[in-house]
Structure 1
Amino acid sequence: MNVTVNVTRKKGPLYLQVKNILKDRILHGIYPIDTNIPSEPQLESEFNVSKITVRNAIKELVQEGFLETKSGKGTKVIRNTSASKLSKGKRFTEVLVEEGHKIQKQLLQAEVICNQEDTEPYQLFGEHCLRIERLYHLDGVPYIHYTHYLDARRMEGIEPSDLHVQSLYGLIEGQDISLERFRDGFAVAVAPFHVEDRLHVKKGTPLLKRSRYSYDEAGDVIEYSEGYYNTEMQHYVVNYDI
């Protein structure tokens, strides 16, 4: 189910905001490949924007190769993967979407917190940071829990409503921050109790834990995140193109 989003001019051109939301839905399988996206009047109503705004958003996605428009037949999704800085291959979620799965994001919480000493967020961002908790559902079942920590001073323009439907990294880059490098670490770990509860796994269940550091072009850490994957549901896959 899509969350209605109020796009506003203070966030930039309206058509680009609509475009980014539609693109995110395509990449997560909300609009599956070879199916039509909602009609122009439906999108105008959902986003409360003009016909020309919707048409410009669709035009951009057609030019990028995600959509195809045919008179009398609507607008069809023809591609559901994107170029990624994270690796030479596809994002993990894109692999799942290509296999016919649907990924839905749920925002659990977004708030500025006081970091505890001797923790990774404190070492990276000082006494305060923006913490975002998100849950990813695989075909309707909780699958991945993510906690993101970001420099609160550089994220003042991000609103919680944006996090429901748009890519976090896209929102970061919307703050005029270019993410140039990522470092991932993988381990097998038992998740905190509240994460086990969110993922509906038994207490003490070993899960795949991914820790990520995202750096800007100056080499500063912009984001630190911890993700727990219930790999009993679906193995973590890395696909590389040579």
Structure 2
Amino acid sequence: MKITRKKGPLYLQIKDIIRDRIIKGQYLKNTLIPAEPVLEKEFSVSKITIRKAVEQLSLEGYVEKKSGIGTRVLENIIVPKMSKGKAFSEQLASEGHQLEKKNISISIVNSKEHYSLQEHMGSECYCIERLFLLNNQPFIHFTHYVPLEASFSLDLNLFIGSLYDSLFKKGLVINRFNDEFEVEVPCEKVTSILHTDQKSLLKRLRSSYDSDEKLIEYSIAYYNTEMHKYVIQYND
């Protein structure tokens, strides 16, 4: 496969290619990826470049290198680069809380009011509204925007499970997230759904990009942090 220095460091390009193969199932979990000499030949690069790519994959939690054995795939799902620790939902579960997702609506909307959406998703995109319940009480309100190429059904009964898994199954593979946080009083609709007064709530804006830096998911989330603080766990 041809790679070029114009797209950035070679080892990062190779890392992204191998990671995509892992996520798409070409390299299965608990199996070995091709040996270094095979990858050197495929990408026409040095052993050092391949080793740097594998080191990055290891740091991100996708593979584990064992001397005398090879490099084994540890994970075949998207691993957030911000942390190798527990996701917020996993943290809540480990504390004994019950977290439940409920779909509110899914529709096709005009994206012209949001420049970044129109630039990456065209004039229309999906809008998915979801509610997370913490111990049966409204906790987080999500509004997700995803491109029409996801080919989602507008039947709420068919839209279940993880949104990111659904995107992956449609060939939309997330490479990185960008999260921004602010405090804002939400609109009356969100306030009503979360059963909160007109007060400031934690707001998270998430942009999810593929390996070509195309925006494939944009979401706005409001958290009722009086119920539970938003926790980001960092591990070494």
TM bucket normalised to smaller: 0.5 to 0.7
Indicate which of 149, 154, 168 corresponds to 2:163.
Answer: 168
Distance 1:236 1:186 in 2: 11
What does 1:151-230 correspond to in 2, within 5 Å?
Answer: 151-152=147-148, 154-158=149-153, 160-164=156-160, 166-203=161-198, 205-230=199-224
What does 1:71-90 correspond to in 2, within 5 Å?
Answer: 85-86=79-80, 87-90=83-86
2:90 is the alignment partner of 1:94: yes
Distance 1:132 1:83 in 2: 22
For residues 192-236 of structure 1, the C-alpha deviation after alignment (integer angstroms, 9 at most, x for no partner) is 111011000002x11000000001111100000000000011100
Distance 1:163 1:157, change over 3 A: closer
Partner of 2:175, secondary structure, is: strand
Measure how far apart 1:161 and its partner are: 2.8
Distance 1:208 1:193 in 2: 15
Distance 2:90 2:213 in 1: 27
Distance 1:140 1:134 in 2: 14
For residues 16-51 of structure 1, the C-alpha deviation after alignment (integer angstroms, 9 at most, x for no partner) is xxxxxxxxxxxxxxxxxxxxxxxxxxxxxxxxxxxx
Identical aligned residues as a percent? 37
Give 1:236's aligned residue: 230
Distance 2:126 2:165 in 1: 16
Measure how far apart 1:177 and its partner are: 1.9
For residues 164-192 of structure 1, the C-alpha deviation after alignment (integer angstroms, 9 at most, x for no partner) is 3x100000000122211110001111111
Contact (CA 8 Å) 1:150, 1:223: kept in 2 or not?
A: yes
Contact (CA 8 Å) 1:84, 1:91: kept in 2 or not?
A: no
Indicate which of 131, 134, 144 corresponds to 2:130.
Answer: 134
For residue 217 of structure 1, what is the amino acid of its counterpart? S
Measure how far apart 1:163 and its partner are: 2.7
Give 1:61's aligned residue: none
Distance 1:197 1:123 in 2: 32
What does 1:2-41 correspond to in 2, within 5 Å?
Answer: none
Distance 2:182 2:233 in 1: 19
Partner of 1:129, secondary structure, is: strand
Distance 1:161 1:115, change over 3 A: same
TM-score (norm 1): 0.61
Unaligned segments of structure 1, at least 5 residues: 1-81
For residue 230 of structure 1, what is the amino acid of its counterpart? N
Misfit runs of 4+, over 4 Å: none
For residues 80-126 of structure 1, the C-alpha deviation after alignment (integer angstroms, 9 at most, x for no partner) is xx976223211101000000001000000001112343555334423
Give 2:12's aligned residue: none
Distance 1:198 1:162, change over 3 A: same
What root-mean-square deviation, in Å, do the aligned CA atoms of Structure 1 and Structure 2 show?
Answer: 1.9
For residue 138 of structure 1, what is the amino acid of its counterpart? L
Unaligned segments of structure 2, at least 5 residues: 1-75
Aligned length: 158
Indicate which of 107, 112, 120 corresponds to 2:108.
Answer: 112
